[in-house]
Structures are given as structure tokens and as C-alpha cells.
Amino acid sequence: MSKKVLITGAAGFLGSHLCERFVNEGFHVIGMDNLITGRMSNLEHLKNEANFEFVNHDISEHIDVETGLDYILHFASPASPIDYLKIPIQTLKVGSLGTHNCLGLAKAKNARIIVASTSEVYGDPTVHPQTEDYWGNVNPVGPRGVYDEAKRFQEAITMAYHTYHGVETRIVRIFNTYGPRMRLNDGRVLPAFIGQALRGEDLTIFGDGSQTRSFCFVDDLVEGIYRLLMSDCPNPVNVGNPDEISIGDFAEEIIKLTGTNQKVIYKDLPVNDPKQRQPDISKAIELLGWTPKIDRAEGLRITYDYFRSLPEEELYKKEHNNFEKYIKK
């Protein structure tokens, strides 16, 4: 019989790609999402798969799964500033209560669980590149704290279940990831730039453009997550692409990719926005034999083609952005 896996956040960007990967690997996948930020369109291509089922449920409430489970992938959480500034309490609840419920379910089902942490646990880092033994520089009461601290608590309770209850746990620290099924207007820099280019708008940089990011294509990330889940490493592991680029240079790449002639305009940097982001992936290389394979040029072409294929109403759909009120004055 197929091994069974529960994937929370299944209708989100990463969750939907994970559902697809595990269905293709022959698992029976139970996708769970309350659709607060996820979209059923991300799972449309799986609806007729015999080994896939979807459950609409908020994992901050008790999770009831009648069948046995072999694995749990906990990927439910708002992940963009627009989302977690709009729904801060839900963000904290899914990282705390939701994680507690998933860990309790893993214990009850004797299942191995991997939880999705983030590079945001490092905050605005004073160590570069970021290694797993760096404890971070996070403002717990700043605008990003609802996401950062939810993830830091998530890691702590996951390790507690591992050490106290003996649950098989894995923690993946995910760095900036991109690819098809991102929401075009979710506020993150890559879809924001491409959306502005497609609409003929100037590209907006917050800050002077010297801040850096490191972008990993989603297929590479999913491979790293899969390998970590199947490994015997309970400690946090960075998974991301160490190819670092400044936001200013990245804007120029997008203009060249899209063949547009937009200007770049600058606005003030938001509070606590990290100035550097680059993963040290030495541990992933050593323990998982994993390195990213898809370079940024190829990944951006695939992503751009996806965004160009979206209906026009998606291109002009506006999402409420609370980030402006956190701009430094």
C-alpha cells in the first residue's frame, strides 16, 4: 500500500509543489489548507489523482486524521509581508498552536514530521552568510516579529517534541524561493518586479538597492526538502541558493528579462528589513548531497512565462499592503 503523507498549507505556493512531488513519488497525499492565503487553483492539476485528497481545515484547531500516517509536512503559514501584516494573530497561531497540533498528530501516528522554518529566524543578520549555528538578530515586537517569532517558537517546540517525546522531527530553514504558482501581488520582490514590468509600471525598490537576497528555484527547494525528510538529521538545515545578488542588480535583470523599458524608483526601507540574505548550505551539501541545479536565468525565464500566462485580472488584482505604514520616516 502507498505510504501516506499529510501536507499542511497544501494550496500555497510551496505546499502545492510538495503535493505534486509526493503524488509523483507514489505516496497517498492528504493536502490540508484553510485557504486563508492558499488557492485551490494551485491544486487543480491534482484533483483527478487517485492518490490525492484535499481537506479544508484550519490546523490551529484540532486535526483529525482517521487513517495512519507515515509523514507530515507542516508548511501552513502566511509567508509574505502583505499576508502576515494583514493577519498577524493567525500567523502567530499557525506557528504555535498549529505546530503543536501537527507535532501531537505525529506523536499519535508515529509519523516523521518536517516543519517549514525560514531564513527569517536570522532576522537582520550580523553574520554573513548565515549558518545554522547563528542565533539571529530579531526584533520580537517589530512589524516582522509575528512571523519571525512564530517560526522561532516552531523550531523550539519541534526540538522539544524530538528530545522529550522521541518524535522523528526535521527542520528546514527555507531561504527566498520563487517559481510558478507564486501570487503575483503577494508583496515579495520577485513577483512585485515582474508584475510591475508586465503592467508597464516603474520598478519600486525599498531602500537604496544595496540589500541582498539569494533566490532558489522551487524545484531545487522541493528536492532539498524531500532529501531532508528522508535523512536522519533532526537539527535545522538551511535550504536555499547561495547565489547572492543585490536588489538593485536584480531589478536590472528583470528589466532585461522582460524586455521592458521601465525606470527604477526608490522608497524608504521598511523597519527591520534584512539587509543581507545568503545561506551557508555546507550542511545540506554534507548531509543531504544537495545543491541547487537551476540557475537564476533559467528559473526566471520559467517563472516569467508562468506570470505572462495568467489572466489579465490576476495582473491587475490589488492586495492590501500594510507594509507602507512601517516605512522609516
Closest by CA position to 247, among listed 202, 322, 168, 193: 193
- Helix ranges, 87-212 (H): 88-93, 99-109, 145-165, 189-199
* 292 within 8 A of 217, measured Cβ to Cβ: yes
DSSP letter string over 199-249?
Answer: HTPPEEEESSS--EEE-EEHHHHHHHHHHHHTSS--S-EEES---EEEHHH
Alpha-carbon distance of 206 to 270, in angstroms, equals 7
The DSSP bridge partners found for residue 48 are none
DSSP-derived letter for residue 63 is P
H or E stretch including 28? strand 28-33
Task: Report the first-to-last Cα separation within the chain, whole angstroms.
Answer: 60
Amino acid at 279: P
Residue 229 is placed in which grid cell?
525528510
Query: What is the greatest pairwise CA distance in the chain?
Result: 60
Taking residue 167's Cβ as centre, other Cβ atoms within 10 Å add up to 22
Residue 54 is placed in which grid cell?
484535499
147 an active-site residue? yes
Closest by CA position to 307, among listed 251, 243, 264, 258: 258
Amino acid at 45: H
Among 71, 84, 122, 147, the one annotated catalytic: 147
Q: What are phi and psi of 251, to 5 degrees?
A: -60, -40
Give the active site residues: 147
